[in-house]
Amino acid sequence: MQNNNSAENAVVELRGVSKKYIHTLAVKDLDLSVHRGEFFGFLGPNGAGKTTTIKMITGLVKPTKGVVRVAGIDVQENPVGVKRLLGYIPDTPYIYERLTAREFLNLVGGLYDMNRDLVEKRIDWLFDLFGVGEWGEDFAGEYSHGMRQKIVMASALLHDPELLVIDEPMVGLDPQSQRLVKDILTELVKRGTTIFMSTHTLSVAAELCTQIALISKGKLIEILPQTSNEKLEKRILEITGGERKVFFPDE
C-alpha cells in the first residue's frame, strides 16, 4: 500500500525507494510523504526496514534506487544541506567519552557553524529543559545510558531543526524522563517541527503520532490515523502473523 498524501510541500518525501544489502532487500519500493507539523510514526517488527529507512532519510545510507528528499532537497545530491535542516536521535546514543556534555554540545554547534554565544545560550536552555544539572560538566564516560540519551536529544535540538528523526527515543529512560520527552516532542510539533519516529513502543506511538505507517518485510503495508494502543496492537499482530502461543515442556 502506498501513502496517498500529496508530495507537495512535503518535509520528507520518498519515491520508489529500495535498499538491498548483498542478499537482503531491506526496503522495497517505498513511497511516503510527511508534511510540516506532522508527528509521523513508523512501526513494524524487527527486520522490517525501519532503521534502514531512517538512515536513508538522514543520508547515512544510500538507496539502491529511488529518491529521498527533505524539504525538497535531494538527500544524495546535497547531504550537507539536508543535515542542516534535521536533527537525528539514533537508537544507540554516542558521545565522546572524554568530553563533558557542554563540550560535546559546543562541538555540535561548531559543526553547524552556530554563533558561540547562541550555542551557550541554547545549551543552558537545554540543560534546564532536560534537567541535566551539574552532571553536564562531568565527562560523558561517567554517564548512564539515560543520561547519554538526554544529551544526544539535546544535541539534535541545538540548531532548532525543521525535521526531527528519531529511532526508539524511550530506550534507557526512566518513567519520569519518558514523560518529559513525550511532553517535549508534543510541544515541538505544536511549534511546527515535523517528527519522523520509529518505535516498538505501541503506547508511545498511539499517544503521540498523528499518522502511523506500518511496514513489514521492507514494504509499506498501510497508513493509519491516530488510533488507540489496543487497535494498533491488533493490527500489528495481524500483519505479522498473529500471536504466538506460549508453552513450556513438561518436566
Q: How many structural domains compose the chain? A: 2
- Residue 183: what pLDDT? 95
Give the model's pLDDT for residue 91. Answer: 85
Q: Which of 139, 160, 181 is the last residue of a domain?
A: 160
Task: State whether 73 and 174 are in the same domain.
Answer: yes
Whole-number pLDDT of residue 1: 44
DSSP code, position 138: S
Who contacts 120 (Cβ-Cβ below 8 Å, separation ≥6)? 106
Q: Which of 24-38, 102-116, 218-232 bottoms out in mean pLDDT, i.e. has the lowest?
A: 218-232
| 7 and 71 fall within a common domain | yes
Task: Identify whether 127 is part of a domain.
Answer: yes
Does pLDDT of 6 surpass 60?
Answer: no
Structural domain span for residue 130: 92-160
Residues 97 and 62 in one domain: no
Residue 247 lies in a domain: no
Q: Identify whether the C-beta of residue 41 lies closer than 8 Å to the C-beta of residue 205.
A: yes
- Select from 126, 160, 194 the last residue of a domain: 160
Between 242 and 233, residue with greater pLDDT: 233
Average pLDDT score over residue span 107-130? 95
In-domain check, residue 106? yes
Same domain, 79 and 34: yes
Phi first, then psi, for residue 40 (nearest 5°) are -100, 120
pTM listed for this prediction: 0.90
If asked whether residues 27 and 66 sit together in one domain, one would say yes
Helix (H, G, I), strand (E, B) or coil at 176: helix
Q: Are residues 61 and 153 in the same domain?
A: no
Choosing from 112, 130, 160, the residue where a domain stops is 160
Whether residue 174 sits in one domain with residue 223: yes
**Residue 235 domain flag:** yes
* CB-based contacts of 121, cutoff 8 Å, min separation 6: none
pLDDT reported for residue 34:
96
Q: In whole angstroms, what is the distance from residue 80 CA to residue 72 CA?
A: 14
| For residue 24, pLDDT beyond 60 | yes
The predicted pLDDT at position 174 comes to 87
Is there a single domain that holds both residue 152 and residue 190? no
Task: Examine the domain organization and report whether 115 and 132 are in the same domain.
Answer: yes
Evaluate whether residue 2 is within a structural domain.
Answer: yes
Please report, rounded to a whole number, the percentage of residues in the chain having pLDDT higher than 90: 70
- Answer yes or no: do 68 and 139 share one domain: no
Q: Are residues 9 and 34 in the same domain?
A: yes
What pLDDT, in 10s, does the model give residues 35-74? 999 999 999 888 889 999 999 999 999 999 999 999 999 9
How remote is the C-alpha of 59 from its chain's centroid?
13
The grid coordinates of residue 96 equal 565522546
- What's the pLDDT score for residue 245? 67
Assigned domain for 205 exists? yes
1: how many CB neighbours lie within 10 A of its CB?
A: 11
Confidence of residue 241 (pLDDT cuts 50, 70, 90): low
Least confident of 114-118, 141-145, 235-239: 235-239
Average pLDDT score, the chain = 90
* pLDDT value at 126 more than 60: yes
In-domain check, residue 182: yes
Asked whether residue 65 is assigned to any structural domain, the reply reads yes
Say if residue 154 is in the same domain as residue 104. yes
**Beta partners for residue 136, in sequence order:** none
Express each pLDDT in 196-212 by its tens digit. 999 888 888 999 999 99
Instruction: Identify which has the larger pLDDT, 93 or 123.
Output: 123
Residue 9: pLDDT band (50, 70, 90) is confident
Please give the pLDDT value at position 2.
44
Residue 7 has what pLDDT?
60
CATH number at residue 50: 3.40.50.300
The pLDDT of 209-238, averaged and rounded, is 87
Q: Is it the case that residue 109 has pLDDT exceeding 80?
A: yes
Within 10 Å of residue 214's Cβ, how many Cβ atoms?
23
